[in-house]
């Protein structure tokens, strides 16, 4: 397996108390597509990643750089995982999904997850069209949440905590998680939306609505190809993950039950 690291610089937002002019614009510099320079004192520090997106990078460009090749690899039978990591308010959910407020949602601001749905089904439709009846696809989705070291099924709000299992055929999997078959990007997004409404959210002083859980949306793709009376079956998974905020307790002023959760997800 290969791990690839991308960094996205988030623009300043309302409520930070900072402005984009003057010295505030000089705290860091994206000096190349894979280099970010932190203008710290006494000595600046340089960090190198596989790709760095500055604050002006569009959602489409982020998808092309981060997710496009992974979706294509899933079509070829390889498993892929995309996850966003960072402090609460750093833009993880915006990058993965898009704006949190429906009034602000536009096609241009769609995140990595909806764009991955669209591209995957575009590739499926193209493959079916070019292969005729010799190839078919099945796609099913599951959506789980890891909260306070417990696993919950976001597609079944009445379910109890689930458990991880492992066997030779499936590898590691969540036993009892609901899987829904989908035939289009729109259907996949409906499943995502249904699960997202069930996600457990707690408020902290760092963000109006700070997620305190990890959410894992998994698309399982199965293709069947018929050649000379032989059926070749290929399976792969695409995992799309929105992690809980990575901030430290002393920065959020969390206490009591929220501190316990923070220690669990940190």
Last residue of a domain, one of 57, 72, 93: 57
Q: Tell whether residue 80 is among the known ligand binding residues.
A: no
Residues 170 and 52 in one domain: no
pLDDT tens digits, one per residue of 211-228: 577 889 999 999 999 888
The pLDDT of residue 249 is 41
Residues 152 and 247 in one domain: yes
- Spatial neighbors of 98 by CB under 8 A, at least 6 apart, are 59, 105, 109, 110, 111, 114
Residues 132 and 200 in one domain: yes
Q: Tell whether residue 204 is among the known ligand binding residues.
A: no
Residues 250 and 121 in one domain: yes
157: domain CATH number is 3.40.850.10
Q: Tell whether residue 130 is among the known ligand binding residues.
A: no
Residues 140 and 205 in one domain: yes
The pLDDT of residue 25 is 52
Contact between 155 and 114 (Cβ < 8 Å): no
Contact between 37 and 27 (Cβ < 8 Å): no
> What is the overall mean pLDDT for the chain?
81
Q: Tell whether residue 218 is among the known ligand binding residues.
A: no
**Residues linked to residue 8 through DSSP beta bridges, in sequence order:** 53
Tell me what the mean pLDDT of segment 144-163 comes to: 85
Q: Which residue has the higher pLDDT, 161 or 59?
A: 59
Give the pLDDT band (50/70/90) at residue 11: confident
Q: Tell whether residue 170 is among the known ligand binding residues.
A: no
Last residue of a domain, one of 13, 31, 57: 57
Q: CB-hemisphere CA count at 13 Å for 4?
A: 13
Nearest to 220 by CA among 198, 204, 234, 238: 238
The structure's pTM equals: 0.80
């Amino acid at each position: 397996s290969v791990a690839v690291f991308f960094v996205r610089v988030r623009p300043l937002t309302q409520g930070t108390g900072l402005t984009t002019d003057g010295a505030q614009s000089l705290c860091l510099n994206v000096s190349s597509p894979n280099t970010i320079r932190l203008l710290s004192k006494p000595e600046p520090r340089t960090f190198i990643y596989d790709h760095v997106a500055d604050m002006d990078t569009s959602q489409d460009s982020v998808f092309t750089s981060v997710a496009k090749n992974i979706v294509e690899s899933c079509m070829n039978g390889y498993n892929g995982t995309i996850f966003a990591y960072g402090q609460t308010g750093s833009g993880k959910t915006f990058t993965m999904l898009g704006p949190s407020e429906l009034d602000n949602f536009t096609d241009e601001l769609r995140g990595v997850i909806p764009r991955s749905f669209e591209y995957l089904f575009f590739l499926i439709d193209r493959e079916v069209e070019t292969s005729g009846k010799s190839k078919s696809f099945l796609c099913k989705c599951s959506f789980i949440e890891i909260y306070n070291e417990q696993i919950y099924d976001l597609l079944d709000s009445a379910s109890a905590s689930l458990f991880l299992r492992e066997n030779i055929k499936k590898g590691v999997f969540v036993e009892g998680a609901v899987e829904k078959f989908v035939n289009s990007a729109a259907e996949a997004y409906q499943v995502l939306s249904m699960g997202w409404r069930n996600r457990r959210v707690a408020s902290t002083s760092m963000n109006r609505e700070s997620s305190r859980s990890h959410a894992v949306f998994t698309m399982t793709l199965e293709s069947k190809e018929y050649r000379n009376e032989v059926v070749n079956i290929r399976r792969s998974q695409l995992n799309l993950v929105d992690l809980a905020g990575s901030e430290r307790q002393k920065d959020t002023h969390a206490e009591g039950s929220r501190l316990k959760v923070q220690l669990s997800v940190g």
